[in-house]
Chains A and B, each alone.
Chain A
Amino acid sequence: MFEKEDKKGGEGQESAVLSTGAYYEVRKERKNKLTKRFDSHFSRTLRTSLKVINVSLKHKLQLYKKQLHDAQQAATTHQKEQHEDKKKKTAKRESREKEMERAAQGIGAQIRRLDEACVLVHAERVDLKEKIGPYSAADLFHTVRAWQTGSRLHPLSASGLRCEDLLFFDTETTGLGSGTGELIFLIGFARVEKNAIEIKQYFLPGPGHEAAFYDAFLRDCRSLKNLVTFNGKAFDWPRVKTRHRFVRDQVPRLPAFGHFDLLHASRRLWKSRLDSVRLQTVESEILGMRRERDVPGKMAPFLYFKFLKQPDANLVKGILEHNREDVLSLIALYTHLSKKVLGLAENDTEETFEIARWYLQVGDDKRAVPLLRKLSGTETREGARAKTCLAKWYKREGKYARALTMFQSAIRALNDPDDTPYIEAAKIMEHQYKDYEKALQYTLKAMEYLDANVNLPKEKRNRREADCIKRIHRLDGKLMRNKG
């Protein structure tokens, strides 16, 4: 902190020797004027001081325990537990075994062991008819069956799979970071079998038990080829990989994994109508589900830390319930999304358009094009966008005449200022029909729209404008040559 001081600053210090009284006066006055809010960085150093003398580290630590403690208090923000009372100390003395058994009982779990380590496994079978939001697990059978005749290319496709191949999967962690210090302390999965939903939850009773934890999970899950998660690709799975590394010598290898990430699907379909695409939001806004007495996800780490100090099952029951609901919701959400994509549920124009675009992107033109054609007949915003989409597809297929008609139609239907169809039309005119005059007209029009489109980010606009100008120059050149 006090570094890089100019020489003059030092001279200022000298004045202090002469005017200690004045110093206090200035200081008092200043104190009144200024809020004492100063950076935590400084308040921390204020409370802390250390020595660099040759005392043993242990002795030093004793000396400075208080200061360091205060510094620690300032650094961590979460509320602290009360001092350990005698009762807790007695509890600590009890054998770990007893504690574990009691905790297992509390959450209705079996204890499974691997060497010294153990894991609490809660297993449950739920009736297929039980309602999960608007669906029941039985609906999943229809859905999977429907996929057998549906698109094979679609990322959500269960074509070739059986219902019980899908593993609905979710974890709870001690932090949201991605470093090596974050633990997964709860893994839950659900699997829909012939006569019941099988739910399994693996609870880590302490950080030293990860070997048993991953061993049990990896032995039970059979295959991880068809994980269904919500943001598992970016969140849960990398964490599983990180933690697995620490116990890789003691537990089965991580099998190859495949993924249905429902976050991506939800984002595609509902991004514009949801404030945030979180599982809870999708549940309540899209599936019309409600959770009673839910433990918010961000509370989970704190409850778990408490549990570690005092293994009372009641502390973590809520987390297990939260996780259970998450994996069940995934069943409903997968069913819902599949029905939409398969066209078995009603879709509004926006959803239809996004589904069509999705098909187009994965190369399932056969399913995308009819949807786009249908949309293009509607007088909606998506209708116009569908026309542009369709026109591009025609162009890609080499059907330039149809592409051009469709672009022109898109231009007529256009409500928002969008320069794309103009540019596309200009391209066709220039390259296919060699009609530079018309191409030039379209390009000029595109420029106009670029100007009018206030929503476009500046960089994008500049780039597109530059492209337009280049095109105009080139077209001008071609026209001149034609005339000359």
Chain B
Amino acid sequence: MKIRQSMDDLLAMLKEDPNVVHWHTIPERRALSVPFPESLDWRLRRTLVERGIDSLYTHQAQAFRDACRGEDVVLVTPTASGKTLCYNLPVLQSILSDPSCRALYLFPTKALAQDQKNEMESVIDALDVPVKSYTYDGDTSGSIRQKIRRAGQIVMTNPDMLHASILPHHTKWVSLFENLRYIVIDELHTYRGVFGSHVANVMRRLERICGYYGSRPQFICTSATIDNPREHAEALTGRRMTLIDRNGAPSVRKHFLLYNPPVVNQPLNVREDELPAVRRLAARFLKNGIQTIVFARSRLKVELIASHLQEINTGFDERAKICAYRGGYLPLERRKIEKGLRDGKIMGVVSTNALELGVDIGQLQVCIITGYPGNMASVWQQAGRAGRRQEDAVIIMVASSTPLDQYMVAHPDYFFSRKPEEARINPDNLMILMDHIKCSAYELPFKKGDTFGGQPAGDLCTFLADEDVLHYETGKWYWMSDAFPAGDVSLRSAVQDSFAIVDVTDRGHVKVIGQMDRFGAITMLYEDAIYIHQGKQYHVDRLDLEERKAYVRRVDVNYYTDSDLAVQLDVLETDEHGVMPAQVEKGFGDVSVRALPTVFKKIRFETLENIGWGHIHLPELEMHTNAAWISFSEDDIGRFGKDVFQGALMGLSYLLRHAAPLFVMCDQADLSVVPKIKAPHNEKPTVFLYDKYPGGIGLSQKVYESLPELLAKAREMVESCGCESGCPSCIGLVNEGRQAKHALIRLLKEARPER
């Protein structure tokens, strides 16, 4: 019989493990508490005491004080630091002193609103004062809706609902808008990129409506750790913010380990794939009954890890339950997993960043991060999932062989001292702005001289009047169309374009098992793909683009599939242009991108070898966006020889793709890198970096601005790599690797001689 190993045994084992390249211990921190503020309502005081709370953490007290003083507040709070009280206390205080006060809570998802509602409910019960709090979302029934509009003192909803349901019907919400005192925005950091740019515009619309009803609500925002919480909150709300970032909550001692899988092919400097390493590590904890969460970057990886972990537990007397968790699952399925984690019925969970959000799953003991998640904000959010009660928490980041991961494990000091990234939004993206001007005009006519987000709205309104969407009359622009503008605008670009995944295994009981956005569908649900859902394999029989449905059937095969994309790129207009040393040019402007899925490979599970392939027959995706680019002289081709130069160019793209997220907060997937040996616009060898959203969201612009630093970082990465002829940790595996690597170093040196 096997004897269970304790956490200490396991830690001791890890201390001996040569693959653990760095061991960072974050000491435990004591709570910084202060007595309840004098002004705190006695009923709130009593309720807190009843719940075993006899003082406040410093940040909670500060939030209460600043909010009561009328300031707009943004709080930076790590996981499990009692952030809920930070906004619930001032909100409840104001309602207790004036029951006509209203508050609007915004959460990025329905599920989070539900969680908070339950939490609020229990506080209200204890208060013994009838405060009416409700969630308002797509599932709220018609009869309750009326009650919420009339009498809801705290309304918890999401930005999508505010956008499409509440604001366009503001006349039904008069009592809310007339008395709106607080707007709480939770998980502020999730409102970045496209979604954030939309939400910032929804806030501008909200501001207009509040102004119309004569209220000026205060904002209380909470965010996970990002570099620019105040700036971000100000961009999102248009208000000056007071920042509270001194956390007074205690935390347990945490061991943060960097784990680098062993080199398995010395000549090629190829390391073991991170997946087997993660599986090994996770299995060790799970077998000993230690609750573990594993984060992985892609949905495919999540499924692969989960299905393997489920296997290792068979035959073990105490079979631990292990689940996968990611977008694409139906809400009910997710709720079940969350609950299982909270009450300990589920021992292990493998998740995408979907569980980074404040979804309530309690604290686990171990967190394993599969590969650097692309930004430090995510690292700390994921790491925050570990840290239960009095025991030490363990966080292991397993490096992949990409340049960025290898750079991080080779420079742990850099890694641990790195600031979290900035969240960027661009509310003035003309496409997005125009959508919301329409919605806003529908809600309230624009007067001549009115502003929207601080800018004059007149020009945009005139344009829309020319388009017969608005009608100008005696100094005002009125909505004059029979369309419902908010219905055409989705805050999350993927939502309205989602594909249903239909399981047709049993013809009698056809059912929808999940959903996926268009890009996901085209790269994962092409015909003959093997789609993995909750560790089960499905064969895709048919992808219906018009009906947006993928028909799948249960199968049991020993391989999975992976697709290739071909990308064509044209420059439409150059907005900025610059010359760097050695005839290297940089540019920024508008591009048209066409992506075409071409073939897919069948890859065997156990050995990861390629066992076949097939064509994908789908139309290309096309969009216009922003791009930054760097072009080399045509002479360089001759200088190094075509093959070598091509290798160097591909190597550079490989490096840039991984290094760019160091400068902008984005997922690798938000920014694409495409090398062209002969760019169509200047016929020069060029590497493009473009925003993967129509119209751009400011990422490639930031890349353009920091191009010199980016190239310097790329040079540092390639120079510091010990391999001979290129490896996955620097320039990737390219033809003529040895020469290509040298060529690239030379090119980078020339483009920026001084360090």
Interface of A with B (CB < 8 Å)?
1-20, 23, 26-27, 30, 33-34, 36-39, 41-42, 45-53, 57-58, 60-61, 64-65, 68-69, 71-72, 75-76, 78, 80-81, 116, 174-183, 206-208, 241-242, 245-246, 301-302, 305, 308-309
Report yes or no: B565 in contact with A174, Cβ–Cβ below 8 A.
Answer: no
Report yes or no: B595 in contact with A180, Cβ–Cβ below 8 A.
Answer: no
C-alpha spacing A11/B564, complex, angstroms: 7
Residues 307-318 of chain B: 1 if any A CB is under 8 Å from the residue's CB, otherwise 0?
000000000000
B168 interface residue per 8 A CB criterion: yes
- Of B182-190, B357-365, B492-500, the one touching chain A: B492-500
C-alpha spacing A302/B482, complex, angstroms: 8
Report yes or no: B619 in contact with A1, Cβ–Cβ below 8 A.
Answer: no
Which B residues are in CB contact (< 8 Å) with A242?
A: 171-172
Report yes or no: A16 in contact with B517, Cβ–Cβ below 8 A.
Answer: no
B692 interface residue per 8 A CB criterion: yes
Whether A48 contacts B695 in the complex (CB less than 8 A), given A1-B493, A12-B598, comes out as yes
Q: How far is the CB of B168 from chain A (nearest CB, A)?
A: 4
| CB contact list, B460-503 vs A, under 8 A | 460, 463-464, 467-469, 471, 473-474, 476, 478-486, 488, 493-494, 496-497
Residues 274-302 of chain B: 1 if any A CB is under 8 Å from the residue's CB, otherwise 0?
00000000000000000000000111100
C-alpha spacing A34/B675, complex, angstroms: 28
Which A residues are in CB contact (< 8 Å) with B428?
A: 52, 57
B534 interface residue per 8 A CB criterion: no
Listed residue (A3, A68, A69, A177) with the most chain B CB atoms within 10 angstroms of its CB: A3
Report yes or no: A37 in contact with B496, Cβ–Cβ below 8 A.
Answer: no
Q: How far is the CB of A76 from chain B (nearest CB, A)?
A: 7
B157 interface residue per 8 A CB criterion: no
Which B residues are in CB contact (< 8 Å) with A14?
A: 650, 653-654, 675
The 14 listed contacts between A and B (C-beta, < 8 Å) are A2-B621, A9-B565, A10-B668, A13-B674, A14-B675, A17-B650, A34-B617, A46-B623, A49-B592, A76-B469, A81-B468, A179-B168, A182-B482, A305-B468
Q: How far is the CB of B599 from chain A (nearest CB, A)?
A: 9
B28 interface residue per 8 A CB criterion: no
C-alpha spacing A39/B499, complex, angstroms: 13
If A2-B669, A52-B696, A181-B484 are given as contacts, then 16 extra A-B residue pairs at C-beta distance below 8 Å, sorted by A number, are A3-B669, A5-B669, A7-B668, A12-B565, A16-B566, A20-B677, A23-B568, A30-B619, A52-B429, A52-B626, A52-B695, A52-B701, A175-B484, A181-B479, A305-B471, A305-B481
C-alpha spacing A116/B476, complex, angstroms: 14
Report yes or no: A8 in contact with B646, Cβ–Cβ below 8 A.
Answer: no
Report yes or no: A10 in contact with B673, Cβ–Cβ below 8 A.
Answer: yes
Report yes or no: B621 in contact with A64, Cβ–Cβ below 8 A.
Answer: no
C-alpha spacing A14/B429, complex, angstroms: 29
B119 interface residue per 8 A CB criterion: no
Which B residues are in CB contact (< 8 Å) with A12?
A: 563-567, 597-598
Report yes or no: A48 in contact with B624, Cβ–Cβ below 8 A.
Answer: yes
Q: How far is the CB of B34 from chain A (nearest CB, A)?
A: 43
C-alpha spacing A1/B492, complex, angstroms: 9
Whether A52 contacts B497 in the complex (CB less than 8 A), given A10-B673, A13-B565, A26-B596, comes out as no
C-alpha spacing A193/B25, complex, angstroms: 91
Q: Chain B residue with minimal CB distance to A26?
A: B598
- Of B7-15, B77-85, B438-446, the one touching chain A: B438-446
Residues 642-653 of chain B: 1 if any A CB is under 8 Å from the residue's CB, otherwise 0?
000010011001
Which B residues are in CB contact (< 8 Å) with A52?
A: 426, 428-429, 626, 695-698, 701
- Of B53-61, B107-115, B518-526, B737-745, the one touching chain A: B518-526
Report yes or no: B621 in contact with A1, Cβ–Cβ below 8 A.
Answer: yes
Contact among B171, B597, B598 for A180, CB-based, below 8 A: B171
Per DSSP, chain A at the interface is: helix
C-alpha spacing A180/B488, complex, angstroms: 16
Q: Chain B residue with minimal CB distance to A19?
A: B566
Report yes or no: A5 in contact with B675, Cβ–Cβ below 8 A.
Answer: no
Which B residues are in CB contact (< 8 Å) with A245?
A: 171, 174
Per DSSP, chain B at the interface is: mixed
B264 interface residue per 8 A CB criterion: no
Q: How far is the CB of B28 from chain A (nearest CB, A)?
A: 36
C-alpha spacing A80/B467, complex, angstroms: 9
Q: Chain A residue with minimal CB distance to B680?
A: A20
B459 interface residue per 8 A CB criterion: yes
C-alpha spacing A419/B456, complex, angstroms: 68
C-alpha spacing A4/B516, complex, angstroms: 11
B170 interface residue per 8 A CB criterion: yes
Which A residues are in CB contact (< 8 Å) with B620?
A: 27, 30
B343 interface residue per 8 A CB criterion: no
Please name the 10 residue pairs, one residue from A and one from B, whose CB atoms are nearest each other, closest first.
A49-B624, A181-B442, A12-B564, A2-B692, A45-B694, A207-B478, A179-B168, A175-B482, A12-B565, A181-B479
Q: How far is the CB of A216 from chain B (nearest CB, A)?
A: 18
Report yes or no: B300 in contact with A6, Cβ–Cβ below 8 A.
Answer: yes
Report yes or no: A75 in contact with B488, Cβ–Cβ below 8 A.
Answer: yes
Report yes or no: A49 in contact with B701, Cβ–Cβ below 8 A.
Answer: no
Q: Chain A residue with minimal CB distance to B443?
A: A180
Whether A6 contacts B459 in the complex (CB less than 8 A), given A1-B497, A17-B677, A308-B480, comes out as no
Report yes or no: A61 in contact with B463, Cβ–Cβ below 8 A.
Answer: yes
Listed residue (B562, B598, B668, B674) with the most chain A CB atoms within 10 angstroms of its CB: B598
Report yes or no: B619 in contact with A34, Cβ–Cβ below 8 A.
Answer: yes
Report yes or no: B575 in contact with A51, Cβ–Cβ below 8 A.
Answer: yes
C-alpha spacing A275/B668, complex, angstroms: 55
B611 interface residue per 8 A CB criterion: no
C-alpha spacing A179/B169, complex, angstroms: 5
C-alpha spacing A52/B197, complex, angstroms: 12
B333 interface residue per 8 A CB criterion: no
Q: How far is the CB of A150 from chain B (nearest CB, A)?
A: 33
Whether A68 contacts B617 in the complex (CB less than 8 A), given A27-B596, A180-B171, A308-B471, comes out as no
Q: How far is the CB of A248 from chain B (nearest CB, A)?
A: 10
Report yes or no: B696 in contact with A45, Cβ–Cβ below 8 A.
Answer: no
Q: How far is the CB of B414 from chain A (nearest CB, A)?
A: 23
Which B residues are in CB contact (< 8 Å) with A181?
A: 168, 441-443, 479, 484-485
Q: How far is the CB of A249 from chain B (nearest CB, A)?
A: 12
Q: How far is the CB of B190 from chain A (nearest CB, A)?
A: 14
Whether A177 contacts B484 in the complex (CB less than 8 A), given A30-B617, A46-B623, A48-B694, comes out as yes
Report yes or no: B693 in contact with A16, Cβ–Cβ below 8 A.
Answer: no
Q: How far is the CB of A246 from chain B (nearest CB, A)?
A: 8
Report yes or no: B672 in contact with A3, Cβ–Cβ below 8 A.
Answer: no
Q: Chain B residue with minimal CB distance to A17?
A: B675
Q: Chain A residue with minimal CB distance to B520?
A: A4
Which B residues are in CB contact (< 8 Å) with A1?
A: 493-494, 497, 517-519, 621, 623, 692-694
Q: Chain B residue with minimal CB distance to A38?
A: B619
Q: How far is the CB of A316 from chain B (nearest CB, A)?
A: 14
Which A residues are in CB contact (< 8 Å) with B38?
A: none
Whether A3 contacts B675 in the complex (CB less than 8 A), given A68-B430, A72-B467, A180-B444, comes out as no
C-alpha spacing A256/B596, complex, angstroms: 63
Residues 196-223 of chain B: 1 if any A CB is under 8 Å from the residue's CB, otherwise 0?
0000000000000000000000000000
Listed residue (A2, A10, A241, A305) with the most chain B CB atoms within 10 angstroms of its CB: A2
C-alpha spacing A309/B650, complex, angstroms: 58
C-alpha spacing A181/B669, complex, angstroms: 38
B431 interface residue per 8 A CB criterion: yes
Q: How far is the CB of A45 from chain B (nearest CB, A)?
A: 4
| CB contact list, B37-96 vs A, under 8 A | none
B724 interface residue per 8 A CB criterion: no
Report yes or no: A180 in contact with B169, Cβ–Cβ below 8 A.
Answer: yes
C-alpha spacing A74/B657, complex, angstroms: 35
Report yes or no: A50 in contact with B478, Cβ–Cβ below 8 A.
Answer: no
Which B residues are in CB contact (< 8 Å) with A76?
A: 467-469, 481, 483
C-alpha spacing A305/B430, complex, angstroms: 26
Residues 683-698 of chain B: 1 if any A CB is under 8 Å from the residue's CB, otherwise 0?
0000000001111111
Q: How far is the CB of A310 from chain B (nearest CB, A)?
A: 12
C-alpha spacing A201/B111, complex, angstroms: 50
Which A residues are in CB contact (< 8 Å) with B479?
A: 181
